[in-house]
Amino acid sequence: MSDCIFCKIADGNIPANIAYEDDRILCFHDLEPQAPVHVLLIPRKHIESLDAAEEGDAALLGHLLLKVKEIAARLGLENGYRLVSNCGADGMQTVKHLHFHLLGKRRLLWPPG
Active-site residue 101, yes or no? no
Spans of all domains in the chain: 5-104
Q: Is residue 113 predicted with pLDDT exceeding 70? A: no
Residue 112's Cα: distance from chain center in Å? 17
Q: Which of these is catalytic: 38, 97, 99, 101?
A: 99
pLDDT of residue 1: 59
Q: What is the pTM of this model?
A: 0.94
Distances in Å between the Cα of 7 and the Cα atoms of 21, 26, 68, 111 are: 14, 10, 20, 31
pLDDT digits (tens, 9 = 90+) for 58-111: 999 999 999 999 999 999 999 999 999 999 999 999 999 999 999 999 999 988
Question: Of 112, 39, 107, which is closest to residue 70 (Cα–Cα)?
Answer: 39
| 34: Cα within 13 Å, side-chain hemisphere | 12
Question: Of 38, 41, 106, which is closest to residue 75 (Cα–Cα)?
Answer: 38
SS3 (DSSP) at 76: coil
Q: Does domain 5-104 have CATH number 1.20.1250.30?
A: no
